[in-house]
């Protein structure tokens, strides 16, 4: 164990430089968790082996992870004996090189501690032809298999996982083997890595942590296949470029399923079951049925008894508000159980997108995609993106209880909320923005003003709106008007639209905004991404071309960075609050009473029953003539696309494979958004041209221009 002086450690303290690598291959272990503990003088005096020392929680000093070179340095350590612990590979004398080590720290010195782990990783390869005959010299089209071998692989099978870049099938019987097909002649390089799970080792150490990674590459050369002469009538067909399944496909499928569960028609079905006496919906898939029951239980047992409003005679509105909140709470979490997956339907969607269906259950693939929460309860996992954010704050403890008077322990008053990591609410405020641009909120404002007998024009278009007190809607509207002081104002929403996306509403109520932090580059970056996707789709449909996904990947990184910068302040609560309020407005507009007061077009097939009411109001008031159907599509498709960008770990993706799969997976949403945007604003985002200028004009400005043109030609 070497010691050297260093001027980098603080005065009066010392340091320890820890190296972790494999004994046989000399490959470093990247991301390995190493902790340092103080050793009491009483134990040191016994002369016992430090491998047998069981430190107390109070002796814990720090825990850090090794860099790419397998090294990590601890600075600022007091002069004392310290215990260095590796939290991987069954820290047990059974595997040489993993035993905890004692290091005497002296001021001004950096001491070396080396874990030379006896894994002796090596790789073996096999090649075989289509007829299963093994060969030594592979050719284009032959099958290729690789197996990573190392000491104690049987004992480590439960905590070690192989990941490989092979477009391969995993061997169910051997977790350290995989197979693939040689797709071309020439040199082949396939990176692989062994991921070794974190272990707490001692009580008092952080619970949970990232896996250590030992990386390597498989290299070989393949020869050209000897041409075989053919004759006779031949049928030739070209197919689209094949791709490989990635774990985030399951996450994207969960986003689609979760947002579909949040649809208005599903919400209306839930409300009708609660308030209208309808039976439970039949023939629901398992996860939808379980979530339906969970929503009803949340409403009846948790929210309704607690949601007391500060005024009387509004029980109906109070019940609607509590039920809507329960609906949103249960459905917004992709990580909530039951997981939002439906095996057959999800597999069918992947096949339609020409994407590979993962072997096994998609729920299991999703579980592998998630990451254990550092310092969280055992078994609690989160998205890789949130795991990276959590790793930036290793010194802050996980807080298990929300802030309330019944928490019981002072230590629980500070920290990171585990529920926010283990079950984040995946909602995008762009859903509310597009519904607001579609005049949903303005429609309800006009109705509530008329309900209070306030004239809006000299010739009031709502003069015949008379809702008698015999209808249930009358008391609901009364509660809606009474609760105005507790709802989000248009000004608050507008500032948050600007903070999230750089989008703003136009109108007298939101003039002279003074935004503190605007995402002014979002619109340009997002529209550039959509334009690049159009070019990618054209290439991907050409079966003679292999589509290039690198431009799409770079655009995804840019949009992800901009979105993440706006995820602060009201980000955690305002989107869900806005969603609850607008769902309630849609539900009230869908009530049959409004059919008597608003001249709707019965023969127009709107997919949701509230939509014809909004279009009727826009016709009465002389607002924009773009149908609310297009705004609703912008809201749904925009939310699905942006959720996949915001919550994906795009900043750490270097290969274009994930961007390739992303573009194929979300193609209906991307093209649907582009079409709806053109229908609403007149701007075509699907311009396939290398020198096309990205239109970053605010949608509200474009809508004002179209409205002015509409009024001039009326």
**Residue 343 lies in domain:** 250-422
* Residue 410 pLDDT level (bands cut at 50, 70, 90): very low
* Cis amide linkage into residue 338, ω under 30° from 0: yes
Instruction: Let me know if residue 228 belongs to a domain.
Output: no
Same domain, 213 and 283: no
**Closest residue by Cα to residue 647 from 72, 104, 368, 254:** 254
Which of the two residues, 653 and 229, has the higher pLDDT score?
A: 653
Query: What mean pLDDT value characterizes the chain?
Result: 85
Tell me what pLDDT residue 161 has: 84
Instruction: Let me know if residue 230 belongs to a domain.
Output: no
| Contact of 328 with 580, CB cutoff 8 Å | yes
* Residue 281 pLDDT level (bands cut at 50, 70, 90): low
Same domain, 402 and 471: no
| pLDDT greater than 70 at residue 310 | no
Q: Is 351 exposed, middle or buried (0-12, 13-18, 19+ CB in 10 A)?
A: exposed
Same domain, 159 and 100: no
The DSSP H or E segment spanning 599 is: none
| Contact of 399 with 417, CB cutoff 8 Å | yes
Instruction: Let me know if residue 450 belongs to a domain.
Output: yes
Q: What does the alpha-carbon distance between residue 350 and residue 342 come to, in Å, rounded to a whole number?
A: 12
Structure tokens at 659: 């961007």
Which of the two residues, 286 and 159, has the higher pLDDT score?
A: 159
| Contact of 140 with 223, CB cutoff 8 Å | yes
Q: CB 712: neighbour CB atoms within 10 A?
A: 7
536-541: long-range pairs with CB below 8 Å, 24+:
536/663, 537/663, 537/667, 537/671, 538/688, 540/240, 540/241, 540/663, 540/664, 541/240
- pLDDT > 70 fraction of the chain, expressed in percent and rounded: 88
| Contact of 556 with 529, CB cutoff 8 Å | yes
**Closest residue by Cα to residue 664 from 569, 574, 540:** 540
Q: What b/e sequence results for 110-120 when a residue is b if at least 16 CB atoms lie within 10 Å of its CB, and e otherwise?
A: bbebbbebbbe
Residues 6+ apart with CB under 8 A from 360: none
Same domain, 564 and 643: yes
Q: What does the alpha-carbon distance between residue 531 and residue 678 come to, in Å, rounded to a whole number?
A: 13
* Residue 666 pLDDT level (bands cut at 50, 70, 90): very high
pLDDT tens per residue across span 141-172: 888 888 888 888 887 877 888 887 654 455 66
Q: What does the alpha-carbon distance between residue 679 and residue 695 come to, in Å, rounded to a whole number?
A: 15
Average pLDDT over residues 256-264: 92
Q: What is the dihedral of CA 328, 332, 335, 337, to 10 degrees?
A: 30
Q: CB 513: neighbour CB atoms within 10 A?
A: 12
The DSSP H or E segment spanning 193 is: strand 186-196
Same domain, 435 and 418: no
- pLDDT > 90 fraction of the chain, expressed in percent and rounded: 40
- Weakest-pLDDT range from 1-10, 429-438, 557-566, 690-699: 1-10
Structure tokens at 526: 């997002």
Q: What does the alpha-carbon distance between residue 277 and residue 227 come to, in Å, rounded to a whole number?
A: 72
Same domain, 197 and 297: no
Q: Residue holding tokens 């619109």?
A: 523
What single-letter DSSP state applies at residue 487?
S
| pLDDT greater than 60 at residue 356 | yes
Please report the beta strands in 209-334, taking only residues with DSSP state E, as ranges in sequence order. Answer: 212-222
Same domain, 693 and 548: yes
pTM: 0.67
Q: What does the alpha-carbon distance between residue 37 and residue 57 come to, in Å, rounded to a whole number?
A: 9
| pLDDT greater than 70 at residue 313 | no
- Weakest-pLDDT range from 20-34, 55-69, 227-241: 227-241
DSSP β-bridge partners for residue 226 = none
The DSSP H or E segment spanning 678 is: helix 667-681
| Contact of 142 with 182, CB cutoff 8 Å | yes
Residue at a domain's end among 81, 98, 117 = 117
CATH of residue 11: 2.60.40.10
Average pLDDT over residues 425-452: 94
Q: What does the alpha-carbon distance between residue 622 and residue 616 come to, in Å, rounded to a whole number?
A: 10
- Weakest-pLDDT range from 231-240, 469-478, 564-573: 231-240
| Contact of 487 with 585, CB cutoff 8 Å | no
Instruction: Let me know if residue 504 belongs to a domain.
Output: yes
Same domain, 99 and 150: no
* Residue 42 pLDDT level (bands cut at 50, 70, 90): confident
| pLDDT greater than 80 at residue 328 | yes
Distances (CA, A) of 408 to 378, 392, 411, 421: 22, 28, 9, 22
Same domain, 306 and 368: yes
Residues 6+ apart with CB under 8 A from 587: 264, 267, 268, 271, 320, 324, 610
Structure tokens at 341: 């997956």
Average pLDDT over residues 36-59: 86
Q: What does the alpha-carbon distance between residue 611 and residue 605 come to, in Å, rounded to a whole number?
A: 10
Same domain, 112 and 126: no
| pLDDT greater than 70 at residue 40 | yes
Tell me what pLDDT residue 94 has: 65
| pLDDT greater than 90 at residue 376 | no
Query: Which of the listed ranges 18-27, 150-159, 449-458 does the model predict with the highest average pLDDT?
Result: 18-27
Q: What does the alpha-carbon distance between residue 690 and residue 535 come to, in Å, rounded to a whole number?
A: 9
| pLDDT greater than 80 at residue 352 | yes
Residue at a domain's end among 367, 400, 422 = 422
Instruction: Let me know if residue 231 belongs to a domain.
Output: no
| Contact of 238 with 244, CB cutoff 8 Å | no
352 phi and psi, to 5 degrees?
-65, -25
Sheet with strand 122-128: strands edge to edge: 134-135, 122-128, 143-149, 177-181, 169-170
Average pLDDT over residues 108-129: 90
Residue at a domain's end among 373, 405, 422 = 422
* Residue 385 pLDDT level (bands cut at 50, 70, 90): very high
DSSP β-bridge partners for residue 381 = 372
Tell me what pLDDT residue 405 has: 44
| pLDDT greater than 50 at residue 475 | yes
| pLDDT greater than 80 at residue 128 | yes
Average pLDDT over residues 337-365: 85
CA angle 495, 524, 442 (to 5 degrees): 40
Tell me what pLDDT residue 378 has: 64
Same domain, 129 and 112: no
- Weakest-pLDDT range from 19-33, 379-393, 576-590: 379-393
Which SS3 state, helix, strand or coil, does residue 75 take?
A: strand
Tell me what pLDDT residue 274 has: 80
Tell me what pLDDT residue 167 has: 47
Instruction: Let me know if residue 234 belongs to a domain.
Output: no
Average pLDDT over residues 540-557: 92
Instruction: Let me know if residue 229 belongs to a domain.
Output: no
| pLDDT greater than 50 at residue 407 | no
| pLDDT greater than 90 at residue 7 | no
* Residue 465 pLDDT level (bands cut at 50, 70, 90): confident
Q: What does the alpha-carbon distance between residue 622 and residue 185 come to, in Å, rounded to a whole number?
A: 66
Q: What does the alpha-carbon distance between residue 501 and residue 549 come to, in Å, rounded to a whole number?
A: 25
> What's the 3-state SS for 633-662?
HHHHHHHHHHHHHHCCCHHHCCCCHHHHHH
- Weakest-pLDDT range from 64-68, 323-327, 404-408, 624-628: 404-408
List helix spans (H) across 262-314: 264-275, 286-297
Domain count, the chain: 4
Average pLDDT over residues 426-449: 95
Q: Is 551 exposed, middle or buried (0-12, 13-18, 19+ CB in 10 A)?
A: middle
Residues 6+ apart with CB under 8 A from 695: 527, 683, 685
| pLDDT greater than 60 at residue 552 | yes
Which SS3 state, helix, strand or coil, does residue 543 take?
A: coil
- Weakest-pLDDT range from 307-311, 452-456, 699-703: 307-311
Same domain, 258 and 363: yes
Which SS3 state, helix, strand or coil, does residue 307 take?
A: coil
Instruction: Let me know if residue 395 belongs to a domain.
Output: yes
- Weakest-pLDDT range from 36-50, 164-178, 212-226, 585-599: 164-178
């Amino acid at each position: 164990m070497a010691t050297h002086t260093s001027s980098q450690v603080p005065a009066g303290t010392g340091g320890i430089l820890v190296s972790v690598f494999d004994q046989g291959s000399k490959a470093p272990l990247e991301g390995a968790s190493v902790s340092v503990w103080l050793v009491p003088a009483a134990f040191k005096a016994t002369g016992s082996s430090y491998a047998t020392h069981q430190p107390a929680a109070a002796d814990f000093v720090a825990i850090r992870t090794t860099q790419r070179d397998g090294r990590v340095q601890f600075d600022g350590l007091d002069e004392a004996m310290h215990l260095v612990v590796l939290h991987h590979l069954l820290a047990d004398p059974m595997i040489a090189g993993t035993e905890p080590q004692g290091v005497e720290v002296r001021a001004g010195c950096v001491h070396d501690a080396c874990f030379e782990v006896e894994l002796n990783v090596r790789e073996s390869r096999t090649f075989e032809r289509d007829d299963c005959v093994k060969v030594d010299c592979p050719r284009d089209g032959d099958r290729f298999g690789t197996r990573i071998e190392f000491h104690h692989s049987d004992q480590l099978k439960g905590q070690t996982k192989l990941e490989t870049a092979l477009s391969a099938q995993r061997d169910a019987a051997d977790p350290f083997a995989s197979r693939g097909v040689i797709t071309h002649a020439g040199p082949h390089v396939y990176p692989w890595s062994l991921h070794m799970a974190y272990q707490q080792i001692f009580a008092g150490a952080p619970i949970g942590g990232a896996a250590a990674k030992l990386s390597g590459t498989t290299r070989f050369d393949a020869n050209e296949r000897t041409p075989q002469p053919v004759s006779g009538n031949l049928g030739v067909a070209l197919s689209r470029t094949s791709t490989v399944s990635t774990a985030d496909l399951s996450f994207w499928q969960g986003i689609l399923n979760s947002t579909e569960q949040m649809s208005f028609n599903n919400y209306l079905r839930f409300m009708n079951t609660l308030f209208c006496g309808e039976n439970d919906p039949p023939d629901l898939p398992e996860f939808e049925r379980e979530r339906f029951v969970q929503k009803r239980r949340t409403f009846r047992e948790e929210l309704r008894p607690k949601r007391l409003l500060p005024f009387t005679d509004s029980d109906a509105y109070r019940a609607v508000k509590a039920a809507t909140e329960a609906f949103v709470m249960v459905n917004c979490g992709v990580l909530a159980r039951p997981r939002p997956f439906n095996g057959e339907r999800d597999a069918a969607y992947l096949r339609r997108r020409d994407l590979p269906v993962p072997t096994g259950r998609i729920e299991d693939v999703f579980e592998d995609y998630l990451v254990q929460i550092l310092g969280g309860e055992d078994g609690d996992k989160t998205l890789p993106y949130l795991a990276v954010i959590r790793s930036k704050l290793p010194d802050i403890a996980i807080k298990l209880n929300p802030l309330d008077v019944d928490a019981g322990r002072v230590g629980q008053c500070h920290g990171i909320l585990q529920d926010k990591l283990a079950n984040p609410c995946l909602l995008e405020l762009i859903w509310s923005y597009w519904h607001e641009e579609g005049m949903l909120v303005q429609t309800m404002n006009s109705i509530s003003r008329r309900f209070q007998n306030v004239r809006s024009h000299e010739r009031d278009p709502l003069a015949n709106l008379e809702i008698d007190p015999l209808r249930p809607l009358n008391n609901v509207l009364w509660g809606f008007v009474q609760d105005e002081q507790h709802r989000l104002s248009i000004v608050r929403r507008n500032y948050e639209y600007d903070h999230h996306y750089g989008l703003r509403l136009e109108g007298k109520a939101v003039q002279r905004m003074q935004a503190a932090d605007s995402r002014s580059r979002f619109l340009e970056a997002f529209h550039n991404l959509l334009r690049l996707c159009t070019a990618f789709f054209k290439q991907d449909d050409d079966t003679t071309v292999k589509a290039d996904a690198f431009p799409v990947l770079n655009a995804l990184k840019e949009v992800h960075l901009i979105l993440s910068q706006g995820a602060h302040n009201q980000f955690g609560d305002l989107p869900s609050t806005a969603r609850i309020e607008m769902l309630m407005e849609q539900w009230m507009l869908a009530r049959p009473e409004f059919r008597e007061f608003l001249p709707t077009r019965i023969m127009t097939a709107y997919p949701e029953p509230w939509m014809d009411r909004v279009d009727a109001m826009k016709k009465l008031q002389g607002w924009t003539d773009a149908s609310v159907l297009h705004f609703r599509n912008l809201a749904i498709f925009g939310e699905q696309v942006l959720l996949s960008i915001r919550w994906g770990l795009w900043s750490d993706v270097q290969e274009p494979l994930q961007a390739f799969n992303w573009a194929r997976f979300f193609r209906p949403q991307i093209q649907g958004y582009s079409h709806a945007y053109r229908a609403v604003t007149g701007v075509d985002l699907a311009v396939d041209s290398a020198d096309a200028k990205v239109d970053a004009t605010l949608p509200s400005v474009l809508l004002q221009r179209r409205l002015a043109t509409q009024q001039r030609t009326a």
